[in-house]
Structure formats: C-alpha cells, structure tokens
Amino acid sequence: MSVWRDVIGQDAAIATLRRAVEDPAAMTHAWLFTGPPGSGRSVAARAFAAALQCPQGGCGECRECRTALDGSHADVDVIATEGLSIKVDLARDLVQLAALRPSVGRWRIIVIEDADRLTAYSEAPANALLKALEEPTPRTIWILCAPSLEDVMITIRSRSRHLRLRTPPLEAVAELLHRRDGVDEGMAMYAARAAQSHVGLARRLARDEGARIRRRDITRLPTLIRGVPEAVAAAADLAKLAEEETGAASAERDSAERQRLLEVLGADPAARTQPSHIRSQLAALEKDQKGRATRQARDVLDRSLLDLLSVYRDALVLHTGAPIGLVNQDSAALVQELARAMTPEQLLAAMDAIGTARERIGVNVTPLLALEAMAISLRLPR
Amino acid sequence: MTETVDVPSRVPPLVLITGPESLLAERALASILDELRVTTPDLEVVRLHPATYEPGALAAHTAPSLFGGDKAIVVHDLDEAPEELQQDLLSYLAAPLEPGVTLVVGHKSGQRGKKVLDTLKKSRARILEAPLVKSDRDKSDFATHEFRAARRRVTPEAVAALVDAVGKDLRELAAACQQLVADTTGVIDDKTVERYHGGKVEATGFRVADAALAGDTGEALRLVRHAIATGLDPVPIVAVLAQQLRQLVRVGGAGRGRSADIARELGMAPWQVDRARRALGGWTSDALGRCIQAVAAADFEVKGGGRDPVYAVERVLLTITRERHAG
C-alpha cells in the first residue's frame, strides 16, 4: 500500500515527488502539475499532499494519508470549480488561508485543480495569487493543476515548479479499472482504448451502458454525412445527444440544491412567491447553476467531438499504415469504410474542421451553429 | 345659465382594462374617465400603484365621505400587485358596492391577481381590452384607424411607409400619426410620409436576413448599417442569419409534400415552411452549406474572435449574396 498506488503510468513524476517528500532540499513551495485531461493531475496532487502530511512519507494507511486522499484533511484544501471560472473573491480567500499555519498536519497544502480557470472576467483571480506564490509563508504548499503550461499566465508559470504528467499507457488504465473499480478485463481494455487513456472517462464508459451507446452513435456519424441536409441533421443530433446527457442529471441536482437552500433559509418551499431576501439568494443560486450547466454542456460536447475525432484519426492511421493501435478497434469496419472514402488530405481537413468547432464552442459561438459548420466540412466526397 | 339634466352615468361601477399594450390601455382609461366626467364634471380621480400601495388605502378611499362627490379609483398594474392590495380589492368586491364610486382596474398579463380578475368578471365589470399590436397588418390597421378617427384620408402606401419607418413602437406610431394629422392638409400619401420620415426604416435582423437570402446585396448592406446605427448588436443579426439558413436547408432537404406535414415533421410553423420554400429558389444545398460555414466564422468573429464585428457581419452578407448569384 502506498499513496502513489492510483497515480498510474507516471514513474518519472512520482520519483520527483518522492524525492521532494524525503529530501527538504528537493522541496519547493509552489508546484504546477500539467498533463492532458484524464492523466490524473488531481489524483497526483492529492497523493503528493498525503505523502507530505504522512509521518512515513506516504504509507497510504494512516489517518493523515486517508483523510488527505479523500479530501477531508484539515490542512489540505482542494479547490475545484464546476462553473466556467474561478472568481477573484475565492482567490483572495485562498491567499488569506495560505497565511495561516497548519493546524494538525506538517504542512498547509492548497490544491487548485483548475488553475487554467483562474480567469473570471479578467486575469484578476490569477493576479491575486501572485504575491502569495512568490513569497510563501513557511510550511504552506501550493499545488496548481492545468492541462498545459500555456493555460496559465506566464507570471504564475515563473513562480512555480513545473511537473509534467504524461498520458498513461492503455494497459495501466485498464489495470486500474480492473483493480479499483472491479471492471472485467475485456471491458476495461475497451474502455481505456475508447477513452484514449482518460481515466475518468474510461471509468464512465466501463460502467455506464448509456455512455457506450452514445459513443457508438457518435462514431457512426462520419459515414452518414453525405449532403448538406444530412450534415445539418447530424449537427442537430450531436447537439441533442449532448443535451440529453447534460439535462437529466443536472435538473435533478438543481432542484435538490434549491430545496436545500430553502430549508437552510427557513423558507416555505410551497409558497408561490418568496420574500425578497430569499428571492435574491435563489437568484444567486440559479446564476451559479446556469454557469455550471453551460460548462457541463460544453464539456460534454467537447467529449463528443473528441470521440468523433478519434474515428478520423483511426482512418488516417490505416492510411499511413503506422503500427499503432486503433482507438475504435471494436468498429474497425466503419473505420475502414471511412479510410476508403476519404484521402489522407481530406481526413486531415476533417480533423481540422473538428478542431475549429471545438475552439469556437470554447469561445461561446452558438454550439449548434459551430457543429453545423463542422458537419458540412465532414461531408463524404462524391 | 346652463340647465343641468340629471343623466345617470352609463359607466358601470366596475371596469377592467386588460391587455399588455400600454397605449391602448391608457386610451381606454381616458375614455372611461371622459365618459364619467360627462355626468360628473368634478370627478375625483384616485390612482393607486402597486409599488406605493399601503394596506387599507383602498378601503379609506372607497369609504363614503361627508363632503366628497363621485370618485373614480384607478388601480394600475394588478399583475404586479402585492398580496395586501389583492386582499383589499377582494374584500371591496365582496361587500355591497359603494354608490358613487367607480373602480377601474388595469391588468397587463400573467397569472398574478387572477382571483381578482375572476371576481371582477363575475361581478359583471365592463371589460376593455388592450391586445398587443404586433404584426405589420395590425399596425397598419391601427394607423389607418388613427387617421380615420381624425377624419383624414390616407393612401394605403402611406400607411405602409409609416409602419416601415416608425412601426417598432406603437406609441411612436401613434405620435407620428398625430403629427401628420396636425402638420399637413389634404390627402396623406406616401410623399407626405417620405417628407417627414424619409430614409428611416425599421431594420431588424430578420429583414437583413431576408434581403441577403434574396441576393439583394445593396438592400442587405443598407439595412444592416441602419440596424447597427440604430443600436442593434451584430450578435443577434448573425444568429438570425444562422437560423434562417438552417430553416432553408431543413426545408430543402425535406423534399416535396404538403407544407403542413413538413412543418410537423420539422417542428416549424407552416408559414415558415412556405416562406422557406419561396426563398429556396436560386439556391443549391452546397451554396447554403458554404453560407452556414461563413456564418459560423462570422459568429466567432462577432463574439470576440475578430477585431471588427461590423465588418464581419457585412462580409458574411456579401458572401451570402455572392453565393446566391453564383447558384
């Protein structure tokens, strides 16, 4: 047993972190963990936090380790946002928190899981952290996580020590799913491959039949788009699939949160109109929920587009004859059909179109419109 | 010396003015008050607004007074009324009505105050309606009626030009009609309207899209500049372009068949299908596809991806009209 058990396929990074835990001279007060989505940035950050708090340097068994790993340690604060961005007020609160001495543990550790989202309205939230990052309080450790170095501003980059995580190998992901979540081996391998080593996604695919069906529907699209009307229809389908995935879960959660807020405020949930001070609280909650819904819709859509992209990538792999495995090995016939229908240039153009759509959706272009423009570029040549 | 003849007022003691068009509601109220003043020139008018209403004020005003004459109590915006005002109204309606008091209640729209509305209707209140004037035809009818009420002759072209120019807001339209009535003599024709409102056109994203899809470059550019100059943002213009193009593609791809069936299948209104079919002439699906791609690029540019949103809109309009002519 060790805290590093679930940090898979990151031997080099783990070695660096272990050395930092063991040797005070190799330690740094501000870290920046980068790695592709699903590579386990936040898992690594928590494991590092646990190892720092643990008297034995990360046994994985003691109270310190367990509480740090599951996020309930008094001196380990994990900040993650489900909204579009982290606001400056929260960043300022963190700076204050960072000035406090640890209460029970050896270090006060602040983990920001979405350092790339320190961007509410401007760079102000990121700027608020600079001073604290540069002149640390003794015994305070910052761990920032972001997909890549380019996602955080240069002034944060220069104040922190960079640790790069790589995409974990398929086998490692499958092994983790098998060991930790009890998924059988064949399914674990399929999920790891289809999710392209994204651990969280692979887990979802392995355990949720609906997610597998949605993925299959998406990977079938490329061979169906022949003309403009089909393209527009396919875009509508994609948007609808994403909406379905977002809608059901969040509606339930939204109403539960509302119920809870009303309870906390001592308001009557059955009242037709609430008094004004309660209305303002409800309005604030709804605003948060709306931000969360936008983020979730975007994330789901982005994932769908990645699934779509994987089909074109596979077709291109077939063309070049490169000795690498296919992402969509289970639907090889479909990939072959696509490879026959399109030249490598056309495949690359299609992949570019998907990339453009992802970029556009990220900056608030109407998703349906971006998808339509993309689908029209994906038409099969006649 | 004038003789006064005691004519009983024909206005019932309860009046309800319902509908969201504020100009019409105000006129209805004015006509009620005028009618009341025929018999009671010294009518006292009390206006109650929901924002400033204090509980019990209604009862205080309706209570019989030793010196008071007849009263008209006007309750504005019942649809925004707090619970207390609604309760006071209900208890006033439940009791026998005070003689010499006329209660006028205004209600714009919505469910709030429904109980008061129902009670008023049950108590045989006179109901005056102020429906929303929305379509161009309704606006033309309204303008024609305005001129007729002023006993002026007006040509249909003049009405159409007037609605085009100032039809966005009914109040503005009414004011424009009054101005023309007051400032001109003889028949009002389109030349008269042109002299007063020349060059002014109500430009919306929909008109811009219509002109662009019809391939009318000059008109599309003129309208879009006008729209932006009068405060319309480029973002909704692009959104409308995308929506119209989408409808064309979907209707074009649905094949032949009765427009009602296709409308049901696509979840559109039948008139939208008919309109899209008319607009489809001269378009190929590939050209429409290129237009959608251009619109998506423009949406990116107007939302911060480009430097000049207005330029992005104009360029996409040019692309669309060019594609239309090529097809």
> Rounded to an integer, what distance in angstroms lies between the CA atom of residue A307 and that of residue B307?
33
**Nearest-CA residue of chain B relative to A236?**
B246
The answer to whether position B147 is within a domain reads yes
Closest B-chain CA to A358: B300
- pLDDT for the residue numbered A1: 61
The minimum CA-CA distance between A371 and chain B, rounded to whole Å, is: 9
Please give the C-alpha separations between residue B189 and each of B138, B153, B154, B156, B167, in angstroms, as whole numbers: 19, 9, 6, 8, 17
**B301 within a domain of the structure (yes/no):** yes
Q: Are residues B243 and B294 in the same domain?
A: yes
- Identify the bridge partners of residue A112 per DSSP, sorted by sequence position: A79, A144
User: Nearest CB to B289: which of A228, A363, A365?
Assistant: A228
Whole-angstrom distance, CA of residue B287 vs CA of residue B291: 6
The distance of A365 to chain B (nearest Cα, Å) reads 6
Q: Find the domain containing B281 and state its range.
A: 201-326
Mean pLDDT per 10-residue interval, chain A, length 382 residues: 86 93 91 91 93 89 90 90 84 91 92 87 86 88 93 91 93 92 91 91 88 89 91 91 77 85 83 79 88 85 92 94 88 92 94 95 91 94 82
The pLDDT, as a whole number, for residue A280 is 86
Same domain assignment for residues B213 and B282: yes
Residue closest to B288 by CA, chosen among A381, A349, A361, A231: A231
Interface touch A228/B285, C-beta < 8 Å = yes
Same-domain status, B154 and B123: no
Cα A355 to chain centroid, rounded: 18
Q: Are both B152 and B261 inside the same structural domain?
A: no
B317/B213 same-domain check? yes
DSSP state of A222: G
CA-to-CA distance for A97 and A109, rounded, in angstroms? 10
A366 to B288: CB separation less than 8 angstroms, yes or no: no
Asked if B191 and B157 sit in the same domain, the reply is: yes
Phi, psi values for residue A221, rounded to 5°: -55, -45
Q: What is the spatial distance between Cα A201 and Cα A215, in angstroms, rounded to a whole number?
A: 11
Which residues does chain A have within 8 Å of residue B253's beta carbon, measured at their own beta carbons?
227-230, 232-233
- Contact B36/B70 with Cβ under 8 angstroms? yes
Question: CB–CB of A230 and B253 under 8 A?
Answer: yes
State how far residue A222 is from chain B, nearest Cα, in angstroms.
Answer: 17
Q: How far apart are CA A361 and CA A367, in angstroms?
A: 6
Asked if residue B120 and residue B45 are part of one domain, the reply reads yes
In the beta sheet, which residues pair with residue B154? B188
Where do the H-state alpha helices sit in A198-275? 199-207, 209-220, 228-265
- CA A261 centroid distance within chain: 28
Is residue B8 in a domain? no
Comparing CA positions, the residue from A343, A351, A354 lying closest to residue A312 is: A351
Residues 200-259 of chain A whose Cβ lies under 8 A from any Cβ of chain B: 227-233
Residue B5 lies in a domain: no
Pairwise CB contact (< 8 Å): B253 & A360: no
Q: Is residue B7 part of a domain?
A: no
Q: Are residues B218 and B301 in the same domain?
A: yes
Sheet holding B71-75, edge to edge: B44-48, B71-75, B101-107, B14-18, B126-129
C-alpha A41/C-alpha B206 separation (Å) is: 48
Cβ neighbours around A377 below 10 Å, total: 20
CB within 8 Å: B299 and A365:
yes
pLDDT tens digits, one per residue of A258-315: 888 888 888 877 777 777 788 888 888 888 888 888 888 888 899 899 999 999 999 9
Say what the pTM is: 0.71
Residues A287 and A82: their CA atoms lie apart, in Å, by 13
pLDDT at B1: 44
Q: Does B190 share its domain with B218?
A: no
Pairwise CA distance, residues A21 & B175, whole Å: 79
CA distance A140 to A30: 9
Q: Which two tokens stand for residue B71?
A: 């009263």
- Residue B1 placed within a domain: no
Residues in CB range of A353: below 8 A, 6 or more apart:
A373, A374, A377, A378
Q: To which residue do tokens 């609906």 refer?
A: A210
Q: Which positions in chain A touch B285 (Cβ < 8 Å)?
A: 227-229
Q: Are residues B210 and B309 in the same domain?
A: yes
Domain of residue B182, CATH code: 1.10.8
Last residue of a domain, one of B100, B129, B158: B129
B223 and B181 in one domain? no
Q: Do B299 and A372 touch (CB under 8 A)?
A: no
Element (H, E) at A143: strand A140-146
Record the tokens describing residue A299, joined without a space: 């994330």
Tokens of B145: 């009626």
pLDDT, tens digit (0-9, with 9 covering 90-100), for B220-261:
999 999 889 888 899 999 999 999 999 999 999 888 888 888
Q: What is the distance of C-alpha A280 from the center of its chain?
A: 31
Tens-level pLDDT at each residue, chain B (327 residues): 445 555 555 788 899 999 888 888 999 999 989 988 888 888 888 888 888 888 888 888 888 777 777 888 999 888 888 888 888 899 888 888 878 888 999 998 888 888 888 988 888 888 888 888 888 888 888 989 889 888 888 888 888 888 888 877 888 889 989 888 988 888 888 888 888 887 666 678 888 999 999 999 999 999 999 889 888 899 999 999 999 999 999 999 888 888 888 888 888 888 888 889 988 988 999 999 999 999 999 999 999 888 999 999 999 999 999 999 886
State the ipTM, two decimals: 0.78
Q: Identify the CA nearest to B180 among candidates B171, B170, B166, B192.
A: B192
* Domains identified in chain B, total number: 3
Q: Are residues B205 and B322 in the same domain?
A: yes
